[in-house]
């Protein structure tokens, strides 16, 4: 009876760990209720084992532990029931493997360990013991996490893998106890091993896809962070310009008085100089809007400032209206287009105009973007971007990203090159 009680409590604890900390099923918050449910159902499990001597005591004990979990969970009972086979076979396989390992390390015969009921209890206790060791070492395990929801493929892989592993281990256990012959189980064992091998290969391929997506999400996250920083800079500039405008308005009366004095004294030269100075100051106060989308404008403003500092003539025409295209994709497109345009215009030969012309607009919910810039005249170079381009060194970087983004959005991307002029057109 004591053995059955200990076996039940350890099974309950193992399943509680699986559901509460690995699958993250929500449980009731009251600890006393948890302990009470486990203790109340313990005599029932022991009674079932004594009343029905089927030779499946541990299975009955596992069902009693499952009933205790049904009392403790908050909803999600159907999912608890569906995952129970995986938890049962996985924890059972773990305890048998612990017995194998202990027999190998100590040199004690496996059959001797199996005949000891207390050793079976000890082997089952290894799983919760190891978990709680990691629980206290790694504090992040204590944090509340989202509930794990297995998709149908994930559930089938986990169930098949755990059943096949349990079957292989159980057969090997019977062979070591001299209760069965290996020749009788070669075919089913081979089938199980093939299934486990297929699952192993599938998991490797699955993991490679997960790593690829994780890398993609990481890159997108870094780009989002960059966009946020640029937007923060753009907003800070707007706030600073607002303060400058307030100060300028405060001094308007003084400026008007100065202009009036110039008119009264007929000092036209001083008047012209004063007006030009006022125009220059008001231009500094302008907050330019390009696309009308704050995040995108933050990126465009950065390249506008770089073009202005490099002495490049900048022409912008149009605004963007409502569109289904993601803001992130727009940021990718404008960032790469303007980056290539500014870098190419900076390389223009001395004596030639450095110029960037951008036009954009929305027509029937489709975005049209056209970026044209001067570039070096070098007709000897060729590229493989769908057209002949002379300045492939300056334009090659980022074009692949633009093409991929536009293609994913079911858009069109065309580039063409004339002597000293490079043009990119996008319709999304």
Segment 214-229, tens digit of pLDDT: 887 787 777 667 767 7
pLDDT at 357: 93
- Which of these ranges, 80-84, 270-274, 334-338, has the smallest mean pLDDT? 270-274
Q: Structurally, how many domains does the chain consist of?
A: 2
Q: By C-alpha distance, which of 47, 35, 38 is closest to 12? A: 38
- The answer to the question of residue 271 being in a domain is no
Res. 395 pLDDT band, cuts 50 70 90: very low
- The answer to the question of residue 42 being in a domain is yes
- Which of these ranges, 5-9, 81-85, 381-385, 409-413, has the smallest mean pLDDT? 381-385
Q: Average pLDDT for residues 346-357, to the nearest whole number?
A: 88
- The answer to the question of residue 339 being in a domain is yes
Q: Give me the domain span that covers residue 100.
A: 1-148
In this prediction the pTM is: 0.48
CA distance 122 to 320: 69
Res. 371 pLDDT band, cuts 50 70 90: very high
- The answer to the question of residue 202 being in a domain is no
pLDDT tens-place string over residues 278-298: 766 665 545 567 887 777 887
**Predicted confidence (pLDDT) at residue 156 exceeds the cutoff of 80:** yes
**Predicted confidence (pLDDT) at residue 143 exceeds the cutoff of 50:** yes
Maximum C-alpha span of the chain: 121
CA distance 122 to 7: 9
**Quick check: helix, strand or coil at residue 382?**
coil
CA distance 290 to 222: 24
Q: How far is CA 306 from the centre of its chain?
A: 32
**Predicted confidence (pLDDT) at residue 148 exceeds the cutoff of 70:** no
- The answer to the question of residue 16 being in a domain is yes
Q: Average pLDDT for residues 113-121, to the nearest whole number?
A: 74
**Predicted confidence (pLDDT) at residue 83 exceeds the cutoff of 80:** yes
CA–CA distances in Å: residue 275 to residues 255, 263, 269, 360: 10, 12, 10, 33
Pair type for strands 355-363 and 313-317: parallel
Res. 96 pLDDT band, cuts 50 70 90: confident
Q: By C-alpha distance, which of 289, 294, 309, 313 is closest to 373? A: 313
pLDDT at 284: 54
Among 148, 171, 199, the domain boundary falls at: 148
pLDDT at 265: 79
Asked if 84 contacts 66 with a C-beta cutoff of 8 angstroms, the reply is yes
Q: What's the CATH number where 304 sits?
A: 3.30.565.10
In the predicted model, what is the mean pLDDT of the chain? 76
Among 113, 148, 183, the domain boundary falls at: 148
pLDDT at 358: 92
Res. 255 pLDDT band, cuts 50 70 90: low
- The answer to the question of residue 232 being in a domain is no
- The answer to the question of residue 199 being in a domain is no
Among 148, 181, 203, the domain boundary falls at: 148
- Which of these ranges, 122-131, 233-242, 302-311, 402-411, has the smallest mean pLDDT? 233-242
Res. 387 pLDDT band, cuts 50 70 90: very low
End-to-end, the C-alpha distance of the chain in Å comes to 74
- The answer to the question of residue 327 being in a domain is yes
């Amino acid at each position: 009876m004591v053995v059955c009680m200990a076996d039940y409590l350890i099974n309950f604890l193992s399943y509680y760990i699986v559901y509460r900390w690995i699958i993250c099923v929500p449980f009731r918050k009251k600890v006393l209720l948890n302990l009470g449910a486990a203790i109340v159902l313990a005599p029932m499990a022991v009674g079932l084992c004594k009343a029905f001597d089927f030779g499946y005591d541990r299975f009955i004990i596992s069902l009693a532990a499952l009933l205790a979990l049904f009392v403790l969970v908050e909803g999600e009972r159907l999912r608890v029931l569906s995952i129970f086979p995986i938890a049962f076979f996985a924890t059972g396989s773990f305890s048998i493997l612990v017995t194998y390992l202990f027999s190998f390390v100590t040199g004690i015969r496996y059959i001797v360990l199996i005949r000891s009921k207390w050793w079976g209890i000890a082997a089952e206790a290894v799983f919760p013991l190891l978990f709680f060791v990691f629980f206290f070492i790694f504090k992040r395990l204590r944090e509340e996490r989202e509930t794990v929801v297995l998709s149908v493929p994930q559930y089938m892989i986990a169930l098949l893998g755990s059943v096949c592993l349990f079957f292989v281990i159980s057969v090997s256990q019977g062979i070591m106890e001299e209760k069965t012959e290996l020749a009788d189980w070669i075919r089913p064992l081979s089938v199980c091993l093939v299934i486990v091998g297929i699952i192993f290969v599938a998991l490797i391929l699955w993991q490679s896809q997960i790593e690829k997506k994780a890398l993609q999400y990481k890159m997108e996250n870094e780009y989002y962070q960059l966009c946020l920083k640029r937007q923060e800079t753009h907003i800070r500039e707007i706030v600073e310009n607002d303060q400058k405008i307030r100060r300028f308005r405060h001094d308007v009366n003084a400026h008007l008085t100065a202009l009036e004095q110039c008119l009264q004294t007929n000092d036209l030269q001083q008047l012209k100089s004063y007006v030009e100075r006022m125009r220059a100051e008001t231009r500094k106060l302008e907050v330019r809007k390009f696309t009308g989308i704050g995040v995108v404008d933050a990126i465009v403003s950065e390249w506008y400032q770089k073009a202005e500092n490099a002495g490049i003539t900048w022409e912008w025409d149009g605004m963007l209206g409502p569109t289904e295209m993601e803001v992130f994709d727009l940021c990718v497109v404008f960032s790469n287009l303007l980056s290539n345009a500014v870098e190419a215009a900076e390389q223009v030969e001395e004596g030639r105009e450095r110029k960037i012309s951008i036009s954009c607009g929305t027509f029937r919910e489709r975005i049209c973007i056209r970026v044209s810039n001067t570039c070096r005249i070098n007709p000897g170079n060729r590229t493989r971007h769908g057209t002949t381009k002379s300045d492939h060194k300056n334009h090659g970087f980022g074009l692949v990203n633009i093409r991929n983004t536009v293609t994913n959005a079911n858009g069109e991307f065309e580039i063409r090159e004339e002597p000293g002029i490079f043009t990119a057109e996008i319709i999304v």
